[in-house]
A and B are shown apart, each in its own frame.
Chain A
């Protein structure tokens, strides 16, 4: 046989393939761009977040010194001993000290009071950066007299101005400047605990430093010559650790800040990735239809001698090209959008953020865009290999079953691996990544199953008793070339993502407002000295307010657990006790019964201690876990210098969500009554007016008592949450935009499927109105069912997230879901009808000719 007359080994001619890819796409550019525009917003979101992340990293590196304000800071929450003072005084070339604590501030002019964070400062701190004030010189000059710097939000709230007075404890200070930003403090933190700076030499006069007061002691050091900080901190670490103090260096702050904002950007990247995945569903469905429309062209090429691999490559090249264009467009948009991010985040960041073009972010975004468009386009693209040249003679001869193609399963696997790996890069947890991927897979499967079920049910339900228009409209859902599966999946997934974001926001906000509702306590008075206990209670009653709870609080530390100390922990890494257990200063109470928010999970509750025996204590379950404590374990507490042997008699579960005093350790009565202690009183104030009057009365008679007004905290939290939800909404807008693009793309594709049918109907005499109704019915049903399924999955998904991830009760607002349902359904119908208007308005012959 003369088979050698044929050259079977033609080499791949890349130039020709590129040329053919260009020629073949020539008349489809606008349609291809619509397909790929689905990934533009996802890439834009990711590039914006990545750019922001890199800029923050640069800024953190550049501004770390000003964040900490010194080369080294040391802090702790108890007064330093004489020996430690010797060490502290030997450090640094320049030294500063700060005492900070919560206290009530009183504004005599407006007669207003509010809990503030008092910072009493001595020395030249900050050595890097400055205390930002108006006027600027006030930041240093306030230390020269009995003057104060007051946080700008506080000044605004009470309409105070420089020159007014502020009373802290027993002392009156002149407000010399408005504090715009304390070193290393973000706007959000300032909102919760506004700062008031006073010079340390006047701290004593305030009379606020009493036993039991919760004071933070900070020491700041500057070195004039470079010092090996690593070696220095390693040397002082054991001594500081023993004294329960911690240190921070510029390098340490860099790492911590970088890590914190890394977490934030990871979360936001995931939101962006969701938008991108959504776009990918659009790409996959669009390419699927594109390939279907190209069957004839591919068959002709195959007929002329193009190999299956060459045909596949021609279209792969097109996808790479369009993916590249989409990614570059997305990257450009993302780079532009990143200018907005500093505005969004300015309240969360303790430093100013610069906006620079990040080529790294752009490169990552483009690469990701190209990879993901290829991966998702591969599913429909591999079917090109199976298109027979016989289609040139008869289209119906194409009988290849795509699910039998082994390559298809390989592509599924690649997509899964890609999603898991990308999510891992964002979350850093394989478990989380697998759950995320499985979640998406489950949503996809449910939507596909609903679509399949819908087609089956419709086929069974439709019968001759239905009117023609209804029959035709619903039959479109299952007839050949239907769009049911693709539209269900793309519309359903978009709805689901958008809805979950709304639900999570509603759960988090609902959680906070729940705490404030009803007759629960909304005002907490603390730092009440033992001898003030009864008078404060009397004053509360006189104001007509209930005493919901009054508890004594004793501060103590854990010195030994089953004979092991903090020093043993350092020597022996096998001891399974968290390091913080020994360093922490516990605020405990004593009582004879469990409170409403507590439930025993193990052991027996002992309400009264036996004199001369070890003290039975109840431990909160999380502390028990951290300290590896079991029933019967021995603990030696250090109650302000006095050792107290105890044992674990019970383990409790505590509902921390309730606004009341909750404790990690509860003692029985008969032990701590004579220990140095302070009292906490909880009450409920019915209005802001009553709250202000009560606060004034308390501060006037008991200046050392601090008050937390939960109403105020809630309003600050509400503001904070609305800022967070704004950021989340901003990011979810990318998903919404992508969802709309996917919807438009899917429906535009379906236009080409429907066109022949509608034209045929019109040719047979159907009126415009009839075609309008048929089309509207089909899309209304598709849109509403997809939206409904998406919302149902979102309910399930957010319930799982609430229960297992946020661990909060599931309370969602249904209104956004209802609104979303109507918007998606109506939008589907509108876009569907807009796509059909070309068919409705033109004579059938004209359309037949243009589509021939």
Chain B
């Protein structure tokens, strides 16, 4: 099976008050294209840091991240931005929509950056898929949490990403809304054939993926297939 993400000897340390703080240490794993994966672990275990490194949002202290055969560690920040724009989709716990842009405009941004054609129609189509075609002209502050996360989903899929990173996608949502959003994530993911990497401490959500990578104290302690795997 084709590999989309290859993590080798990945470590991340920070300097804090004159001391070296190791957040991640010697992480190794491979993610297959089209698979669904969850990174789980308790608070402060380093799972969000790992997501940031995998998605090219940050640089590692040592080791390498190869995404779609591109070594992210050797790229400049601006080059990584291009990689994110062309290969990666993001979903965040706190939605991270641009507050001064309407829902439709938020979805349009990645397409505009790619200089695509028929941007508005494509964005509207995506909003329709998440059930928000009618609310495209609303600003994020005028939408509920669930609606904001759905806009965020539409935006994440707008650039037809090869891999989708989701950081606690249901962390700010109530149970009922969470369920709907999770279903939408998995449905859209399946439809687009995207690889999904989910960071969560919700084991029930993690169990919906094919594979669970467990992190504790910055170390990978388990890597197992679920019943879906």
- In the complex, whether B186 has a CB less than 8 A from a CB of chain A is no
Flag if A393 contacts B78 (CB, 8 Å).
no
Q: Mark B41-69, 1 if CB is under 8 A from A, else 0.
A: 00000001001100001100000000011
**A394–B159 alpha-carbon span in the complex (Å):** 24
| Contact residues of A between 328 and 371, Cβ < 8 Å to B | none
A557 touches B (CB below 8 Å): no
Q: Given the known inter-chain contacts A7-B82, A304-B110, please indicate yes or no for A28 contacting B57, CB distance below 8 A.
A: no
Contacts of A308 in B (CB 8 A): 77-78, 81
> How does the 8 Å CB contact mask read for A529-565 relative to B, with 1 for contact and 0 for none?
0000000000000000000000000000000000000
A812 to nearest B CB, angstroms? 50
Out of A10, A28, A301, name the residue touching B98 (CB < 8 Å): A301
B-side contacts of A96, CB under 8 Å: none
- Contact check, B81 vs A27: say whether CB atoms are below 8 A apart: no
Count, chain B residues at interface, CB 8 A? 38
Most buried by B among A24, A27, A299, A307: A307
Judge if B96 is at the interface, Cβ distance under 8 Å: yes
**A305 and B110 contact, CB distance less than 8 A:** yes
Chain B residues whose C-beta falls within 8 Å of the C-beta of A10 in the assembled complex = 82, 113, 115
When A2-B69, A297-B100, A304-B85 are in contact, do A852 and B141 touch as well, CB less than 8 Å?
yes
Which of A10, A25, A303, A388 gathers most chain B CB within 10 Å?
Answer: A303
- Give A385's nearest chain B residue, CB to CB: B77
B100 touches A305 (CB 8 A): no
User: Is B226 interfacial (CB 8 A cutoff)?
Assistant: no
Instruction: Select one of B51, B81, B139 contacting A393, CB under 8 A.
Output: B51
Are A23 and B70 also in contact (CB < 8 A) when A392-B57, A393-B92 are?
no
A766 within 8 Å of B by Cβ?
A: no
* B109 in contact (CB, < 8 A): yes
- Which residues in window 59-99 of B have CB below 8 A to A? 68-71, 77-79, 81-87, 90, 92, 96-99
Closest to B56 in A: A389
- Name the residue of chain A whose CB is nearest to the CB of B51: A393
Is the Cβ of B78 less than 8 Å from the Cβ of A309? yes
The yes or no answer to B223 lying at the interface (CB within 8 A) is: no
| A296 within 8 A of partner (CB) | yes
Judging by beta carbons under 8 Å apart, are B96 and A305 in contact?
Answer: no
Once A2-B69, A10-B113, A390-B58 are accepted as A-B contacts, the answer to whether A24 and B84 lie under 8 Å apart by CB is no
User: Does A302 belong to the interface (CB within 8 Å)?
Assistant: yes
Bound-complex Cα distance A23 to B90 (A): 21
Chain A 437-464, CB-CB to B under 8 Å as 1, else 0, gives 0000000000000000000000000000
With A2-B70, A13-B115, A393-B57 as known contacts, state yes or no: A28 contacts B100, CB within 8 Å.
yes
Chain A: residues with Cβ within 8 Å of the partner, total of: 39
Q: Does B105 contact A (CB under 8 A)?
A: yes
- Docked Cα-Cα span, A397 to B15, in Å, equals 12
Answer whether A297 and B70 are a contact pair too, CB < 8 Å, given A305-B81, A393-B57. Answer: no
From known contacts A24-B98, A296-B96, A304-B85, infer whether A388 and B58 are also in contact, taking CB-CB under 8 Å: yes
Report the nearest B residue to A16, measured CB to CB.
B112
With A6-B70, A296-B96 already in contact, the answer to whether A23 and B101 are too (CB < 8 A) is yes
A24 contacts which chain B residues (CB < 8 A)? 98, 100-101
Do A306 and B113 touch across chains, with their CB atoms under 8 A apart? yes
Nearest CB on A from B198, distance (A)? 14
Within 8 A of B (CB), among A7-27: 7-8, 10, 13, 16, 19-20, 23-27
A841 at the B interface (CB under 8 A): no
Chain B residues, CB < 8 A from A7: 82, 86
Contacts of A23 in B (CB 8 A): 98, 100-101, 105
A300 contacts the other chain (Cβ, under 8 Å)? yes
Q: Which of A1, A6, A25 has the most CB of B within 10 A?
A: A6
Residues in B110-139 with C-beta less than 8 Å from chain A: 110, 112-113, 115, 139
Q: Is A805 an interface residue (CB 8 A)?
A: no
Mask, A285-326, CB within 8 Å of B = 1, is 000000000001101111111111100000000000000000
* A227 on interface, CB distance cutoff 8 Å: no
Residues on B with beta carbons closer than 8 Å to the beta carbon of A25: 100
CA–CA, A25 to B98, complex, Å? 11
Q: How many A-B residue pairs have CB under 8 A?
A: 108
Query: Which B residue sits closest to A307, measured CB to CB?
Result: B78
Measured CA separation A6–B52 after assembly (Å):
20
Q: Which residues of B contact A27 (CB under 8 A)?
A: 99-100, 139
Closest to B58 in A: A390
Contact B78 A304 (CB under 8 A): no
| Interface contact A8-B96, CB-CB below 8 Å | no
* Cβ-based interface call for A819 (8 A): no
Q: Does B147 contact A (CB under 8 A)?
A: no
Report which of A2, A300, A306 forms a contact with B81, defined as CB distance below 8 A. Answer: A306
Could you tell me the distance between the alpha carbons of A27 and B98 in the complex, rounded to whole angstroms?
11
| Chain B stretch 9-26: residues in CB contact (< 8 A) with chain A | none
Distance between A106 CB and nearest chain B CB, rounded to angstroms: 80
Let me know if A307 and B97 touch, CB within 8 A: no
Residue of A nearest to B199 (CB): A393
A308-B77 Cα distance, complex, nearest whole Å: 8
Min CB distance A22 to B, Å, is: 10
Report the bound CA distance from A397 to B12 in whole Å: 13
Residues of A within 8 A of B110 (CB): 304-305
Contact with B along A370-399 (1 / 0, CB 8 A): 000000000000000000111011100100
- The answer to whether A389 and B81 touch across the interface, beta carbons within 8 angstroms, is yes
Nearest-neighbour CB distance to chain B for A13, whole angstroms, equals: 7
Asked whether B109 lies within 8 Å of A304 as measured between CB atoms, the reply is yes
Kindly provide the distance from the CB of B74 to the nearest chain A CB, expressed in whole angstroms.
9
* Interchain nearest-CB distance for A27 vs B (Å): 5
Per-residue CB contact flags for chain B residues 142-185 toward chain A (1 = under 8 Å, else 0) read 00000000000001000100000001000000000000000000
Tell me the nearest residue of chain B to A298, going by C-beta. B98
Known pairs A8-B79, A302-B81, A306-B81; A393 contacts B98 (CB<8 A): no
Contacts of B71 in A (CB 8 A): 1
Distance from A396 Cβ to chain B, minimum over Cβ atoms (Å):
11
Instruction: Name the CB-closest residue of B to A850.
Output: B141
Q: Are A3 and B70 in contact (CB under 8 A)?
A: yes
Is A82's CB within 8 Å of the partner chain B? no
A393-B48 CB under 8 A given contacts A1-B69, A3-B70, A13-B115 = yes
Chain A 248-271, CB-CB to B under 8 Å as 1, else 0, gives 000000000000000000000000
Q: Which residues of A contact B58 (CB under 8 A)?
A: 388, 390, 397
Task: Tell me the bound Cα distance from A101 to B128 in angstroms.
Answer: 96
| Bound complex: CA A24 to CA B139 (Å) | 12
Task: Name the one of B48, B57, B79, B113 contacting A389, with C-beta atoms under 8 angstroms.
Answer: B57
List of B residues within 8 angstroms of A232 by Cβ: none
Of residues 384 to 430 in A, which have CB atoms within 8 Å of B's CB atoms? 388-390, 392-394, 397
- The answer to whether A394 touches B48 (Cβ under 8 A) is yes
Closest Cβ of chain A to B4, distance in Å, is: 12
Report the bound CA distance from A306 to B69 in whole Å: 22
**With A5-B70, A24-B98, A24-B100 known to touch, is A393 a contact of B52 (CB < 8 Å)?**
yes
A309 to chain B, nearest CB (A): 7
Of the candidates B51, B68, B113, B141, the one having the most CB atoms from chain A within 10 angstroms of its own CB is: B113
- Chain A residues contacting B112 (CB-CB under 8 Å) are 13, 16, 19
Which residues on the B side are within 8 Å of A5 (C-beta)? 68-70, 86-87
> How many angstroms between the C-alpha atoms of A300 and B106 in the bound complex?
10
Chain A residue nearest to B141 (CB atoms) is A852
Per CB-CB distance, the 4 closest pairs between chain A and chain B, nearest first, are A305-B85, A2-B69, A27-B100, A307-B78
26 sample A-B contacts, Cβ–Cβ < 8 Å, listed by A number: A1-B70, A6-B79, A13-B112, A16-B112, A20-B109, A27-B99, A27-B100, A28-B100, A300-B96, A300-B98, A301-B98, A303-B57, A303-B84, A303-B96, A304-B85, A304-B113, A305-B81, A305-B82, A306-B81, A306-B85, A389-B57, A392-B90, A393-B48, A393-B51, A393-B92, A393-B167
Beyond A297-B99, A389-B81, A852-B141: 15 further Cβ-contacts under 8 Å? A5-B87, A10-B82, A16-B112, A297-B98, A299-B96, A303-B90, A303-B96, A304-B84, A305-B84, A307-B82, A388-B77, A390-B52, A392-B57, A392-B90, A393-B48
